[in-house]
Amino acid sequence: MSTLAGIDVQQQLETLIQSFQTGDPPMPVVVLHAEDAAADNRVTALVDELREGQRHHGTRYAVALDASAVGSGPARPDGGGSPTERAVHLVRHLGDPRGWGERSASYRRYSFPRLNLVRAIHDAVEAPEMRAHWSPEPADDPSDTLNWRPGPVARAGAQQQLLRLLAKQHWRPRRSSGGRYQLLSPAMQQIVLTGLLGGLTALLSRAEWYVFIPASVALVVVLLAMLNQVPGRAPLLLWLRRESRWFLTTTFLRAGMRQQPTDVRLLHPVRSWRTIAARAFDVAEELRGSGEFPLRLYVLALLEDLRDNHRRWSWDLRGFKRNRPPMLFLQGIGNENGGIELIKAVSDVRSRRSEIDPLLIVASVDAADVPRLEHSIVRHTGSDREDSQRLRRRLSRWYVEWAGNLRSGQSPSQEQTLPWVLKIPLPARDLSELREHEWRCMKARPRLPVARALWSVYSLTALMALLGATGTTWYDDRYGDHCSNGLLSVNQYTTRKEKGAGEIECIGIATNGFRFSGQGPKNKDTPGLKQLEKDIGAANAEVLKNHRDHYVTIVYAGPLSPDDKGTSPVKGVEELKGVYLAQRVINSVGTPVKLRVLAANGGVDLQDQLDMAGHIADYADTDRTVVGVVGLGRDLDSSDAVVAKLRDAGLPVVSGTNSATYLPERYMNWFSLAATDKWQAEQLGRIADQLVDTRKEAVVLVRDTNDKYTKEQAKYGLEMLKKKDFQLAGQGGLLKYDLPKRDVLRMADSVDEICVKGGPSVIYFAGRVEDLWRLAELLNSTSNCSERDMAILTGDDLSKGGNMEHGHGLASNVTLYTVGLTALDESKDSTQFYAAAKKYLKIDATPDSFASGQTPLSHDATKALFEAASNGGTGSDASGEKPQTRAATAANLWQLKIANQATGNIDFTTAEPFGGRTGHSIRLTEIPDAGKARRLCQRPAGVTDDLHCKKVDLSPGK
């Protein structure tokens, strides 16, 4: 501030602003004027300096412009320019939110819905289309057309026309001098909304509830937004807006209006619409008049909007954040520009209202116009007896006196007072410009409101960033590491693993409706798994609904992930079919205990079975109904740790196809229906006895991987060949092939060694069925081997081979001897398995259709585990009224003996703790080149008699 008067006035204003930060002090209309008319220009310059200072301090302020500068607003038909009408133009200009400072001054701009509603009605009143309705008939010839009121019939027509104009304006000012910036034009808004509507409609076609519900809500919002933007109609729920509620309930309007209802209700739209329509027409008639009502209504709307913009207990706590009051600067006010009428209107409206509004007005008036404001409530502000006092002290005392006199100054008896005006005469000596180093500018001590720190755009941004980081972490933990069939169906008992090339494999146990089908690429989904999981889910739902306290849960653990060759899914799906078939058979009979099945995936070829076992154990800790596991049909290096983990969780395991010899010798919780690798090799020795007379040379070809099955087969095959006095080729009788990167089988070197002069004529193939195709191809194309009669002995994995088991792909001089884990022909007449399969699996069930043995073995394993978990394991305890615990189930398995199953009779009573058992099902098959397979010997499960095999054909190529 460049003058002593400016410094004192500015400090007094900042003192008042400081009080505003902690309370609601009454805000005066500060009128500055010079004691000498020669200094009028200095007072105007002082107001300019005050305004510039408030701009630097971040205060929201506006400058009331002269009517000629505004250039907007309705034009009077008679070209009127009275002081009151000019004051109306000043207030209309203040409805522009951009005229109150930039966004940086506070967290968002002011809004003036009440003021804009009055402006909209006023614009409609002054529209050319309304002139005919406001004019009297020629016969009436009234003397005062402005005060003329239409009759009842004409009133109804005028009201309808007014409402049409307001709807055309969308109940907004016709020529808004400052409205909200629109990012899109109305046409583009319609295009965007229509596009959103189409997208949401497409989303609603999905059946998932988590998509349907949000999309439905969004669709309703978009439809309402589109309807709200339709030209020529009133906005939706107009009567429920804050400006409409004020419009209908303020006593300023209600007192002199016709007896119209003022209540508005959401559930009574017609009545509410009639209410606001009647009030709008009443106000429109008053706005036509030339009295003080229009100006008072404009001022009332402005003050109410500003009070609402600083209301503390609002949803955004804006009053706590805006700790500097809004200011209005009026420069050089007088009767001609309407400024004095505006000040009078502010004082009158404040005197009538009981609320405190935050607007602080600073005005400058010429000394010649001071008599127009002589009725200020503060007396004796002259300086004739106070020359010795500093202006700052007088300002402070004058404000205290002004605030105290408000109590009596608003009384009706004080007819000639302006109680809200505080006139401040400025001596000429205090208006002289100081030297630049003496200039001063005080600022109220800044205070960071707690509300702005906790509830503002900045805190919201920080919160959104925190939520985003938390959400990303949560997503990585739940969705990134775990699997999900939808937005809200994440399964904590699964793990997402990348197999390369963007493919995802889902490992773990499927709970709470989760399914493994659909987790991988669409073109590599496991064939048949989707329908199978759907059927199991339906069976589980029926159990949970009708037998909540009388069921046990069995987990099938197998390979359910698709792979490039399609081999692993065949085993997993075939085994899961047997589990599902057993579930349907068990739940269809009248036993009180029912069976619930959960599927668990160990990945392609069970390569991730250790992680799967961890998830099964974790889930078993939360679900006491889980009594055991079936499956685990592949013997890998990790199988030892898998069975140990399940043992620690108290879960017994009944496997259908895992032929490991060491597992029953190490674990009391391990039971298997498959003949062990050692016993299989011993039975193949019966074939070797017939081959040793003419074929002295032999070799064991083993796959060099972490496949425990191949290692066990190689171990026991080598022992068998040594016992049969074969001459062993290679390094100690072993030749290895491997499966390096990208599943490219590397076997050629081993075959070349087999086919050298004098090489072996008997190959014990300790590999997987998928590798046998490559071996047959190499033997057929390699010299020495392509002409030599050869025999290949192999274990039970060939039963998965499909066409290979029928000799397809073998050379003309090669005979294949293989082990099968089932002898289904021996047990087909005594079991109900095939009838149940035809009923529930919808297939023509025969022993040949289940030749691989995967489905029958998993079916029998499930039946065995369920019997131990329900009837004590004997199958004859009719008192089994409730499920067994998992510990009791594991103990009952040692006493299990059930007859007439798919593979024969299941008997675990012959098993020794930490040892083997007898009575496995088995078959030995001879497969000549492209010929029909011949069963050499076989027996069903439960039979312990020795095998008596047919004589083999020692000349396979002839």
Contact indicator for 652, 886 with CB cutoff of 8 Å: yes
Closest CA to 175 of 284, 74, 302, 298: 74
Structure tokens at 633: 């049909």
- d(C-alpha 573, C-alpha 516), whole Å: 12
Return the exposure string of 42-73: e unless at least 16 CB atoms fall within 10 Å of the residue's CB, then b.
bbbbbbebbbebbeebebbbbbbbbbeebebb
User: Model confidence over 647-664: pLDDT tens digits?
Assistant: 999 999 999 999 999 999
pLDDT over 80 at 452, yes or no? no
Phi, psi of 768 (to 5 degrees): -100, 155
The amino acid at 657: T
Q: Is the model's pLDDT at 346 over the cut of 90?
A: yes
CB 832, CB 803: distance < 8 Å: no
Q: What is the pLDDT of residue 833?
A: 93
The residue type of 457 is: V
Percent of the chain, pLDDT > 70?
78
Burial class (CB in 10 A: 0-12, 13-18, 19+), 516: buried
pLDDT tens-digit series, residues 564-606: 654 455 688 999 999 999 999 999 988 899 999 999 999 988 9
> Do residues 779 and 771 lie in contact, with contact meaning Cβ atoms separated by under 8 Å?
no
Q: Is the pLDDT of residue 254 over 90?
A: no
CB neighbours of residue 279 within 10 Å? 23
Q: Tens of pLDDT along 467-508?
A: 989 888 877 776 678 887 766 667 889 998 887 666 778 999
Q: What is the mean pLDDT of residues 674-694?
A: 87
**Cβ contacts of residue 632 below 8 Å, gap of 6+?**
557, 558, 602, 606, 609, 639, 642, 643, 653, 655, 658
Mean pLDDT, the chain, integer: 81
Q: Distance from first CA to last CA of the chain, Å, rounded?
A: 121
* Residues 647 and 666 sit within 8 Å (Cβ to Cβ): no
pLDDT at 743 over 60: no
Instruction: Return the ∠ at Cα 661 (arms to 659 and 667), rounded to 5°.
Output: 105
Those residues whose C-beta lies under 8 Å from the C-beta of residue 794, and which sit 6 or more positions away, are 713, 764, 765, 766, 767, 772, 816, 817, 818, 819
Whole-number pLDDT of residue 867 = 93
Tokens of 239: 């009567």
* Tokens describing residue 77: 């038909």
pLDDT band at 77 (very low <50, low <70, confident <90, very high): very low
Over residues 632-643, the pLDDT tens digits come to 999 999 999 999
In this prediction, residue 51 carries a pLDDT of 93
- Helix or strand (DSSP H, E) at 722: helix 708-723
What pLDDT shows up at residue 370?
86
Query: Which tens digit of pLDDT belongs to each residue from 861-919?
Result: 999 999 999 876 554 444 456 899 999 999 999 999 999 999 999 999 988 888 888 89
Q: What is the pLDDT of residues 90-125, one digit of tens each?
A: 998 898 888 898 765 556 889 999 999 999 999 999
pLDDT tens-place string over residues 440-450: 888 887 766 67
The residues near 867 (Cβ < 8 Å, ≥ 6 apart) are 873, 874, 875, 892, 896, 898
Q: Return the number of other C-beta atoms located less than 10 Å from residue 435's C-beta.
A: 7
Highest mean pLDDT among 241-255, 289-303, 647-661, 772-786: 647-661
Whether the model pTM is above 0.75? no
Q: Which residue has the higher pLDDT, 304 or 739?
A: 304
Q: Which residues contact 892 (CB under 8 A, 6 or more apart)?
A: 867, 868, 869, 872, 873, 884
**Mean pLDDT of the 299-324 span:** 89
The whole-number pLDDT of residue 675 equals 92
Contacting residues for 185 by C-beta, under 8 A, at least 6 apart: none
3-class state of residue 441 by DSSP: coil
505, β-bridge pairs: 497
